[in-house]
Amino acid sequence: MAKKIIKLCHAVGETINNDSDIDDLLKLVFIPDYNVSVAELVIPGSDLSQHISTAGHEASGTGSMKFLMNGCLLLATADGATIEIIEEIGEDNMFVFGAKVHEVPNLREKAQNHRVPLQFARVLRMVRDGYFGCEDYFKSLCDSIEGGGDFYLLRNDFASYLEAQAAADKAFVDQERWTKMSIFSTAGSGRFSSDKTVGEYAHQTWGIEPCRCPF
């Protein structure tokens, strides 16, 4: 299933990247070997970082903190590090969407009764009908959602995600507001510095104290 999702990423990318109507205005790139060296280029150059896993499934980790420190704004579900980040910079300085962790179990129980949002149904239909190619290959992906399973609550969170994306688009064209949110993101990231984390582990967990470095 994971391989099919990656294949779908590439298939969507091929469609977007070869669309003459948008030409060089939008490109979708799948980084094949994401590592620290690549991150050193990507993270400082990013305006918006999205952490969109279902709440309760590590939607946000230390990666989002690195973007935060570099003035990048976050669009994420309220889970993991996102909750700690909200405590530091406030929800007004990021774009939060989707179900909360405590809501997920009940939503899963009622998944079969969820109405499929019109926009989401249209996306599924495009994939199922072969708009991005590989029609038979992607059939099981669509079946896993439309069959009532939808373990990751894509139907439930989709409309909220679109709203968060629209809010990010609106904020981006307001240069003064976006810059202010970016500054708050960086200024509020001190809690997540490696020096602070190592110091707390040394004192609270390992029980060791700093000493002068001999020269």
Nearest 5°: CA angle at 60, between 55 and 64?
155
Q: How confident is the model at residue 148 (pLDDT cuts 50, 70, 90)?
A: low
Identify whether 202 is part of a domain: no
**Lowest mean pLDDT across 28-37, 67-76, 112-121, 177-186:** 112-121
- The whole-angstrom distance between residue 130's C-alpha and the CA centroid of its chain comes to 26
Give the domain range for residue 48.
Answer: 44-114+150-193
Identify whether 213 is part of a domain: no
Identify whether 86 is part of a domain: yes
Identify whether 171 is part of a domain: yes
Domain count, the chain: 1
Can you tell me the mean pLDDT for 146-174?
Answer: 91
Identify whether 81 is part of a domain: yes
Identify whether 174 is part of a domain: yes
> Rounded to two decimals, what is the model's pTM?
0.85
Identify whether 72 is part of a domain: yes
Contact 121, 83 (CB under 8 A): no
Identify whether 33 is part of a domain: no
Rg (CA), the chain: 20
